[in-house]
């Protein structure tokens, strides 16, 4: 018996060593942690239960039979984050470059199936050289099986991808179908075709970092949601994100203890809006002053900065926030901001996370670039996302809410539950200057008359009361009381039950 136990410990030690000490040292030299070290940092101490430690590949071509390392390049299992269950896989670059084989993919599929059946999030840590070429189509079949699990898990359990090394070719499509993608600066990259192929086909000279690094994907492509300095910071932020999310689509988001008075008045908000209607202000100041303990977890901070998305808590309950940012492009909606916000709204709706919308929007960005690139259809994505969302929706209009952009931003007309406005808000088809020049075109040659007409228009329409008279605004509130009013609004909606007409699925304007 003692010999058998020793044999087990020997095999376990061999499996834990991955590709060997030399390759582990090489991984550390690049500033990267190993697959197991990453799992240890991600999960609660001693909570990890590993599966399939002794799995090996079955390939015999190209001399592969001579090297059959345990685990086959991926560590899989489950554990807890602050006591809540998650499933995790972590690709091991020290074993055959973390390349995906048939059995490697099967290990990932196994824990994804378990996650769906048991209702817990899946966190994938990607660090792989791609498909294992020696296995040919078997490796591609493995990718396809993983993709199918991503699709089946979508909207059922949260899926989080952490890119901590290379992720190229077909491998990129699995993270692309997950809910959140995090990257590490200077050590992770994603692209469908690498720099060498790009050079051969298009004669473009580009580095891996420029083509698919963290800066590219967080600022330009919007593929990734955030980038961090190193593995440790990235994993700590994943833990923080998981704390905001429900385990699955049948559970409510977690409620946390809070130490911030829901009745708190914030007098500084009464002077947040500048007297000059064209002067910007920072919408993040409002968000943090509404949130419990000023805690705001922003999503896609570096992309489409004219709109803000992220999570706060109110009375300990998770709330998704979508807010126009007057500091960037005056807070207009455009292609990028509409796509960014629509995806976030749809995620919140999938997982029963209430949505708070803070509105200061002068309209959609005009111009041929926007029109030629389909702002109509991209703008419709946000409109569609809000209209189909059945979670509690509370809206606060702080200043401008003009034209179609007013309707799009979770207005009463898109089934907004409770819609508030500050006294400084202006709800109209357009600004006074533009409206006056259309209505009183005959007086354009007389600046004095036009100024008078503009003043009359502002007095009549540049306020929230016309909309309030028609019931499109539920209440005009004092800015200082916004936290209290919003918290009470969400509290009143906690038992909300709404359903859309039956359908197999909708056909969102992609």
DSSP 30-90: TT---HHHHHHHHSPTT--EEE-TT------GGGGGG---GGGGEEEEEEEETTEEEEEEE
Higher pLDDT, 17 or 339: 339
Which DSSP category does 365 fall into?
Answer: P
Instruction: Give the pLDDT band (50/70/90) at residue 168.
Output: confident
- Go through 413-442 and write b for each residue having 16 or more CB atoms within 10 A of its CB, e for each that does not: ebebbbbbbbebbbbbebbbebbbeeebee
At 431 the pLDDT is 65
**pLDDT reading at 459 higher than 70:** no
**168 is known as an active-site residue:** no
Catalytic residue among 194, 404, 434, 452: 404
Please identify which of the residues 71, 73, 129, 169 carries the catalytic annotation.
169
Strand order across the beta sheet in which 84-91 lies: 49-51, 74-81, 84-91, 122-126, 159-163, 180-184, 226-228
CA distance 238 to 180: 10
189-191 vs 166-168, strand pairing mode = parallel
| In the predicted structure, residue 452 carries a pLDDT above the cut 70 | no
* Catalytic status, residue 405: yes
Instruction: Place 96 in a pLDDT band, splitting at 50, 70 and 90.
Output: confident
Confidence of residue 433 (pLDDT cuts 50, 70, 90): low
Band the pLDDT of 445: cuts 50, 70, 90.
low
Q: Which of 26, 119, 155, 170 is catalytic?
A: 170
Tokens matching residue 357: 């919308």
Element (H, E) at 211: helix 208-212
The answer on pLDDT for 59 being more than 90 is no
pLDDT score at 428: 83
Q: Cβ distance 320 to 353 under 8 Å?
A: yes
Q: Is the pLDDT of residue 438 over 80?
A: no
Mean pLDDT, the chain, rounded, equals 91
Q: Using alpha carbons, select from 207, 117, 221, 208 the residue that is nearest to residue 175.
A: 221
pTM of the model: 0.94
Active-site residue identified among 120, 168, 323, 405: 405
**Predicted pLDDT of residue 136:** 79
Helical H segments across 263-408, by residue range? 283-290, 335-350, 368-372, 375-388, 403-408
169 is an active site residue: yes
Instruction: Specify whether 194 is catalytic.
Output: no
- Give the least confident one: 142-146, 199-203, 240-244, 446-450: 446-450
For residue 228, is pLDDT > 80?
yes
- Helical ranges in 417-501 per DSSP H: 432-439, 447-461, 465-469, 482-492
| Burial class, 4, CB count within 10 angstroms (exposed 0-12 / middle 13-18 / buried 19+) | exposed
Token pair in block for residue 92: 């091991």
């Amino acid at each position: 018996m003692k010999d058998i136990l020793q044999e087990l410990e020997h095999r376990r030690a061999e499996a834990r060593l991955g590709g060997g000490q030399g390759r582990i040292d090489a991984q550390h030299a690049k500033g990267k942690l190993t697959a197991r070290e990453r799992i240890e940092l991600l999960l609660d101490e001693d909570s990890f239960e590993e599966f399939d430690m002794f799995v090996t590949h079955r390939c015999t071509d190209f001399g592969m039979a001579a090297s059959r390392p345990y685990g086959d390049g991926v560590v899989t299992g489950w554990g807890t984050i602050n006591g809540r269950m998650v499933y995790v896989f972590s690709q091991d670059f020290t074993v055959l470059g973390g390349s995906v084989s048939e059995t490697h993919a099967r290990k990932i599929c196994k824990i994804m199936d378990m996650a769906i059946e048991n209702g817990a999030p899946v966190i994938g840590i990607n660090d792989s050289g791609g498909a294992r070429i020696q296995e040919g189509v078997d490796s591609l079949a493995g990718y396809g099986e993983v993709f199918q699990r991503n699709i089946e898990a979508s909207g059922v359990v949260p899926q989080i991808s952490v890119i901590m090394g290379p992720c190229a070719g077909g491998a990129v499509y699995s993270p692309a179908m997950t809910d959140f993608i995090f990257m590490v600066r200077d050590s992770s990259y994603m692209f469908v075709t690498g720099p060498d192929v790009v050079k051969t086909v298009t004669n473009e000279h580009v580095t891996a970092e420029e083509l698919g690094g963290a800066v590219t994907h967080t600022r330009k492509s919007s593929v990734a949601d955030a980038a961090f300095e190193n593995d440790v910071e990235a994993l700590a932020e994943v833990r923080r994100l998981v704390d905001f999310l429900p385990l699955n689509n049948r559970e409510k988001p977690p409620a946390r203890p809070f130490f911030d008075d829901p009745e708190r008045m914030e007098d500084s908000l009464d002077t947040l809006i500048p007297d000059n209607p064209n002067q910007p202000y920072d919408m993040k100041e409002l968000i943090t002053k509404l949130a419990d303990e000023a805690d705001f977890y922003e999503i896609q901070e570096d992309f489409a900065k004219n709109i803000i998305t992220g999570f706060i808590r109110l009375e300990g309950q998770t709330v998704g926030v979508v807010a126009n940012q007057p500091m960037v492009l005056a807070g207009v909606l455009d292609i990028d901001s509409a796509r960014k916000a629509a995806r976030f709204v749809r995620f919140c709706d999938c997982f029963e996370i209430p949505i708070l919308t803070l509105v200061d929007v002068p309209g959609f960005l005009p111009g041929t670039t926007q029109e030629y690139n389909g702002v109509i259809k991209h703008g419709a994505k946000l409109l569609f996302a809000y209209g189909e969302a059945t979670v509690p929706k509370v809206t606060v209009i702080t200043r401008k809410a003009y034209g179609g952009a007013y309707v799009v931003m979770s207005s009463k007309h898109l089934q907004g539950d409770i819609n508030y406005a500050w006294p400084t808000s202006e709800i109209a088809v357009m600004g006074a200057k533009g409206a006056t020049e259309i209505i009183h075109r005959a007086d354009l040659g007389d600046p004095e008359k036009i100024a008078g007409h503009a003043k009359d228009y502002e007095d009549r329409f540049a306020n929230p009361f016309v909309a309030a008279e028609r019931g499109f605004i539920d209440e005009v509130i004092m800015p200082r009381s916004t936290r209290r009013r919003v918290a009470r609004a969400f509290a009143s909606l906690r038992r909300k039950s709404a359903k859309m007409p039956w359908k197999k699925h909708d056909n969102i304007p992609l």
